[in-house]
A and B are shown apart, each in its own frame.
Chain A
Amino acid sequence: MEKMLLKRVDIPNANDIDVALKHGAYGALSAAFGMRPVDVVNEVKRATLRGRGGAGFPTGLKWELCARVPGSLKYLLCNADEGEPGTIKDRFILHQDPHLLIEGMVISGYAIGAERGYIYLRYEYPKAIGILEKAIEQAYAKGYLGKNILGKGVNFDLSVHRGAGAYICGEETALIESLEGKRGQPRIRPPFPASQGAWRKPTVINNVETLSNIPFIIGMGGDAYAKIGAETAPGPKIYGVSGHVNKPGVYELPMGTTLREIIYTHCGGIKGGKKLKAVIPGGASTPILTESHLDVKMDFNSLVAAGSMLGSGAVMVMDETVDMVNVAYVLVRFFAHESCGKCTPCREGTAWLYQVYTRLMHGEGKEGDIDLLLYICETVKGKCFCPLGEGAIQPVLSSIKHFRADYEARIKSGVVSH
């Protein structure tokens, strides 16, 4: 497949507008403005694009819900919080092709009737802030942002809003709270952001990669786009691969490429010729898979069928030397730290899990600890305010399911099992 999303990422200085323009940036704007907003929404529906931020919600449907709400003040928010461990993909677009994202946002704003956009950027991408602000300034100067864009009467203002270190702010309603200047804690839904989001106005929140697909959908048409990759959720997908592989990095491949192809063909296999032990296919909150799952297609439905999730497409590879109790401990430590504290099951559940894992790590595991971990997961499952808690228990449940022997060995001997 020819690269689309990462095409300009490989071109030096493509974050400069003149270079980007030479390579097709903003080319889809006039086509989009030649369509009615509702037709732009329909084109995205025909493309059957599903969100790349983690939940895989159909983008066209989300837009339609927002577009239909009466009122002229609406917001388009780009989720550039990229906090899910393992996730690196949006960074490449933010650093190397910000104009693709800006173009996608102008078209998306036009489609849903929003004239104000924000990019919510995580603090931990300090290089991106300068690049984005310069790109936005250049886009204003050339008339791709601001008032009366391309002389077509379309208005769209865009700025960057930075976080300050909080994974939960990637959750869409927590993101809105943070944008408004509050603690980044999730809101109850409904109302959904599409009807009442930022400052209680209709709001669409999309991931960086999702928005970056929009110019291509407009450029080639939804039907042609829908022919790329997996039938149920087509399009190009950026897989970010890290851990014990020879060539970690981002790979743009058709949605539905197998895990085996990603790891062995594109990433050069496991480091040091070791054997693969486990792989997390979609970021820290997606269930761990094993060698027996390598032929799974990396798309939304296939991964659910295999007992995991596509999440953010962040593939984390572990070789045979890794102890899965240790892996679960590190992941649980992350979730316990990042739980926002708003709801009891997540706040207490993650802290309790962390306590038990700390004991296991110190070689003080007790008979019955596996059952205790499973019990704690039960007290969290389906009971949390937002999906963070649900994500936190996935590494626990899946590591026990597939690697119970690692737990038993550790409880018995108190030492690391390889």
Chain B
Amino acid sequence: MLTEQEKQEISEELKHCERPEAAAIEALRVVQKKRGWVSDASLRDVAAQLSMTPAELDAVATFYSFIFRKPVGRHVIALCDSMVCWSLGHDDLYKLISTKLGIGYGETTGDNRFTLLPASCLGACDRAPAMMVDDELFGPVTPETIDEILSKYS
């Protein structure tokens, strides 16, 4: 069941849209904001509010890298593995983070604190190597700054 607030926020999104399904991504993000991910049950509820079939909405949900159809940790680290970040140290950074947190790409820490994902170019090539934690961009990320960054997230 969606909460009243979620329904309200989705209605708000609908006001800006030419047609209800145009709010699909934002509506999914409303659900994801509090719950972290989009469950089958939430997907069905959102679809109903947007007058879409669950299959239509799932087609959208599964297309985009930042809509999660599986549970993720409280914070999602998206580490850029594209060209420039790679050439300026992605592989070492990945190993470092992976060792510190004990997880690889696609995995979540046992305490559910972090999920680690590879990301396509974040558009921060001038600050490579770069990564996003939730909605915040960091770069250049170095072995010296990584602890400080991670410590911001509990």
**Chain A residues within CB distance 8 Å of chain B:** 82-88, 91, 122-127, 159, 161-167, 178-184, 198-199, 240-244, 248-250, 280, 284, 314, 316, 318, 322, 327, 330-331, 333-334, 337-338, 340
Residue of B nearest to A335 (CB): B120
**Chain A CB within 8 A of B29 CB:** yes
A198 to B18, CA, bound (A): 10
- Cβ of A124 and Cβ of B132 under 8 Å apart? yes
- Cβ of A330 and Cβ of B25 under 8 Å apart? no
Q: Chain B: interface residue count, which band?
A: 35 or more
- Cβ of B64 and Cβ of A243 under 8 Å apart? no
Name the B residues within 8 Å of A333 (CB-CB).
Answer: 81
- Cβ of A165 and Cβ of B66 under 8 Å apart? yes
Most A C-beta atoms less than 10 A away, residue of B120, B128, B136: B120
Give 1 or 0 for each of B90-130: 1 = CB within 8 Å of chain A CB: 00000000000000000000000000000111111111100
**Chain B residues within CB distance 8 Å of chain A:** 16-26, 28-29, 50, 52, 59-60, 63-67, 81-84, 86-88, 119-128, 132, 135-137
A243 to B124, CA, bound (A): 11
A180 to B29, CA, bound (A): 16
Name the A residues within 8 Å of B127 (CB-CB).
Answer: 248
Of the A-B pairs whose beta carbons lie under 8 Å apart in the complex, a sample of 5, sorted by A's number, is A87-B125, A164-B25, A181-B60, A199-B18, A240-B125
- Cβ of B81 and Cβ of A330 under 8 Å apart? yes
The 8 Å CB contact of A322, one of B16, B87, B135, is: B87
A183 to B60, CA, bound (A): 5
- Cβ of A330 and Cβ of B83 under 8 Å apart? yes
A282 to B85, CA, bound (A): 17
- Cβ of A164 and Cβ of B121 under 8 Å apart? no
Name the B residues within 8 Å of A83 (CB-CB).
Answer: 120-121, 123
The list of the 7 closest CB pairs from A to B, nearest first, reads A165-B65, A181-B21, A164-B64, A242-B125, A165-B66, A85-B121, A181-B24
A86 to B86, CA, bound (A): 11
The 8 Å CB contact of B63, one of A166, A198, A241, is: A166
